[in-house]
Amino acid sequence: MRKFVKAGLAGLAALMLMTGCGAKEQTATPSDAESKAEGGEEASEEYIAEGSITLGEYKNLPVTVVNPTVSDEELQGRIDTVLGGYATWDAVDREAADGDRVKIDYKGLKDGEAFEGGTAEGYTLVLGSNTFIDGFEEGLIGVKAGEERDLNLTFPEDYQAEDLAGQDVVFEVKIHEVAEKHVPELTDEFVAENFPELGTVDAYKADLKQQMLDAKTMQSEQQRDAELLAAVVENSEIACATDEVNEVYDQQIQYYTSMAGMYGMGLADYAAMMGMDEDGFRTEVRKMSEQTVKQQMALMEIAKKEKLTVEDADREALAEEYKDAYESVDDMIEKAGAENVDNAILYDKAIQVVVDNADVTNVDGLAVAE
């Protein structure tokens, strides 16, 4: 089963494979329709009780597919990242330089008074990481362990804490340690110790390159599928049931709210990170939700037209792929829902029909990111 289905069952972020649009019979009383239509941003402009679709062309669709490659530079960059994860920090008796790690106590003062969030003890900071406001890290270059230094700085005008934005402050800093980073070399000994199943540098490089190529290939296929599915939707006439869109929208908002909460943020904070206010973010989510429902309906219509079916072997294959999450087919069905499982399989088979009948142009290149 390809990643297209994986994304759907793995989490609420890809709801097109988690909700059964187009398969439900929708009915509504006039009062229901009126209340939905008056739902403001939480409802469509016009309440539609039951979705409808006239499927357009879904075969012989043109699409360009990148044949990904991994350059020597990319491979070395990944190796450097891996080696960096095995780096050690060793205390040194010298002045701190860019790239060193320092262990510090600091206290931020505004008008002589400590301000909230401006004090810490035993904080480790890599100089040059741009973790602190401009001037803080630069101001610690040249210090040695045991020294103290006052940093006269100014917070940016657009700083998130309004009481500090644009304000002059002083940071009193005490340096406890200066440490230098030592990155190991990629040797047969290093590989044998940390990747014993590979053993040598050549085997490690070949394995890592294949991993990178596999990841790029999967992303290229996902991009291909997305472009083809967008074309199918564009070629079709689709009216989404309002309740279906609302269901996907609610699940999406729940997902983003939960994700933001993991980082101690609210939905408005998360929206700000995306460069939008909350209302704008909700509007975008609603647009995505409507597009998701259209995709579901188009795929289900293709499945019907092609007389696609779900066999026990399909469910078993899906359960096997998700054996870390589900103990068995029955466990998967119980947790994910029988309709969601079968729909996910049908969606996957339907998009495969589109792919198998597409007019594909293959090009070489590095256009697909890692």
Q: To the nearest 5 percent, what fractions of the chain are helix, strand and coil? A: 50, 20, 35
Q: Report the topology of domain 88-182.
A: Chitinase A; domain 3 (3.10.50)
User: How do residues 75-118 score in pLDDT, each as one tens digit?
Assistant: 999 999 999 999 999 999 999 999 999 999 999 999 999 999 99
Contact 166, 79 (CB under 8 A): no
Whole-number Å distance between alpha carbons of 286 and 294: 12
SS3 at position 94: coil
pTM of the entire structure?
A: 0.72
User: How do residues 52-74 score in pLDDT, each as one tens digit?
Assistant: 999 999 999 999 999 999 999 99
Average pLDDT over the chain, rounded to an integer: 88
In this model, does residue 146 exceed pLDDT 80? Answer: yes
In this model, does residue 12 exceed pLDDT 90? Answer: no
**CA 206 to the chain's CA centroid:** 27
Query: What pLDDT, on the 0 to 100 scale, is given for residue 303?
Result: 98
The CATH code of the domain at 49-68+220-364 is 1.10.3120.10
Neighbours of 336 (CB within 10 A): 20
Query: What pLDDT, on the 0 to 100 scale, is given for residue 364?
Result: 82
Whole-number Å distance between alpha carbons of 165 and 157: 5
Determine the average pLDDT of the residues in 324-328.
93
Query: What pLDDT, on the 0 to 100 scale, is given for residue 44?
Result: 45
Delimit the domains of the chain by residue range.
Answer: 49-68+220-364, 88-182
In this model, does residue 283 exceed pLDDT 80? Answer: yes
Query: What pLDDT, on the 0 to 100 scale, is given for residue 45?
Result: 66
